[in-house]
Amino acid sequence: GGIITQTPKFLIGQEGQKLTLKCQQNFNHDTMYWYRQDSGKGLRLIYYSITENDLQKGDLSEGYDASREKKSSFSLTVTSAQKNEMAVFLCASSWDNTEVFFGKGTRLTVV
Amino acid sequence: QQNVQQSPESLIVPEGARTSLNCTFSDSASQYFWWYRQHSGKAPKALMSIFSNGEKEEGRFTIHLNKASLHFSLHIRDSQPSDSALYLCAGASSGSWQLIFGSGTQLTVMP
């Protein structure tokens, strides 16, 4: 079986700061995703990528950038952290429309 | 653009009850439907999927899909306290890698 590793697990940033979240997968999946989850709520798609160097915007892309420089890695940048923002960012991967596997998440707090 | 709505937002049932969770989707071209389960503090994990109209049963869990009415549901027979979790439905269209999630139903099964 494979694994998705997200770093860091916890991220504390300051208002206006640029913050980068990283994700690595060893499933050899083509497609990777970044979702945002607010406390106890559903998942909102920020960015996804169907292959190396591809980027597709989800509904929540404003305020974020992403980068897929290698098939196995997908990073997300919060371009300007918003004060009191608190959410979990989940990275995921899959082959086409098969099962999506998730990482354990990065919990972001902005002070 | 796919829009997925879930109901109810939260549900408390006694142990042994039959539980029904509902999902409606907006895109009639959707072809791939999933239920995911997320225990508190954990990553979402795929529970069951269905790709054509009808019903699918796995143990205590049954899913129904009716594309004509844009309705997708999950039924849990003999609910257990270990079933307590956030349940997320998700759909994707053929040829699209966007897996769109609903806002979730928080299920609590009381012993």
Tokens in use for A73?
């890695």
pLDDT attached to residue B1: 65
Contact B101 A44 (CB under 8 A): yes
**Whole-angstrom distance between the N-terminal and C-terminal Cα of chain B?**
41
- B33 lies within 8 A of chain A by CB: no
Q: A58 and A44 in contact (C-beta within 8 Å)?
A: yes
Among partner residues B94, B98, B102, which is closest to A42 by beta-carbon distance?
Answer: B102
- A103 lies within 8 A of chain B by CB: yes
Which is higher by pLDDT, A84 or B20?
B20
Q: B54 and B65 in contact (C-beta within 8 Å)?
A: yes
pLDDT attached to residue B27: 82
d(CA A46, CA A56) in angstroms, rounded, equals 9
Which of B5, B38, B58, B99 best tests the A interface by mutation, with the highest count of A CBs <10 A? Answer: B99
Contact B103 A41 (CB under 8 A): yes
- A74 lies within 8 A of chain B by CB: no
Q: What is the pLDDT of residues B23-40, one digit of tens each?
A: 999 887 888 899 999 999
Which residues 4-63 on chain A approach chain B with CB closer than 8 angstroms? 31, 33, 35, 40-45, 48, 50, 56, 58-59
Shortest alpha-carbon distance between residue B7 and chain A (Å): 12
pLDDT attached to residue B94: 67
User: Nearest residue on chain B to A94, judged by CA atoms?
Assistant: B97
Contact B101 A102 (CB under 8 A): no
Among partner residues A42, A48, A105, which is closest to B103 by beta-carbon distance?
Answer: A42
Residue with tokens 């952290």: A81
pLDDT attached to residue A17: 96
Q: What is the pLDDT of residues B52-103, one digit of tens each?
A: 999 999 999 999 999 999 999 999 999 999 999 999 999 887 667 788 899 9
Q: In chain A, which residues have pLDDT < 70?
A: 97
- Tally of CA atoms within 13 A in the half-sphere of B26 that contains its CB: 8
